Amino acid sequence: METEYDFSQGKRGAIEPTPPGKTRITIRLDDEILAWFREQVNAAGGGNYQTLINDALHEYIQQRREPLEEILRRVLREELERMGK
């Protein structure tokens, strides 16, 4: 171990760069919300709870954008396809 270290060329911030299209933020969630997402990841045998939260938010936004009539049509089409009709 050295007695002194030179940090003059050091840079602050995340060690891993944030990929394009992503933004690093700090968010406060209720403990039970975070626990539920972590349990889902554990039950699936691994993964990333942050990705699961992101996917859930995407799904919520999509549902809010899609009118009820379109949702019903989509669900009916999917069910008819599943039944082979």
Query: Is 72 contained in some domain?
Result: yes
Q: Is residue 53 part of a domain?
A: yes
When the pLDDT of each residue in the chain is averaged and rounded to a whole number, the result is 90
Write the CA distances from 25 to 2, 12, 18, integer angstroms: 35, 16, 11
Proportion of the chain above pLDDT 90, given as a percent:
61
In a domain, 26, yes or no: no
Domain count, the chain: 1
The whole domain housing 50 covers 31-83
Residue 58 confidence (pLDDT) = 94
Answer whether residue 7 shows pLDDT above 70. Answer: yes
**pLDDT confidence of 85, banded at 50, 70, 90?**
low
pLDDT by residue (tens digit) across 22-62?
Answer: 998 999 999 999 999 999 999 999 999 999 999 999 999 98
- CA gap 38, 44 in Å, rounded: 10
pTM: 0.60
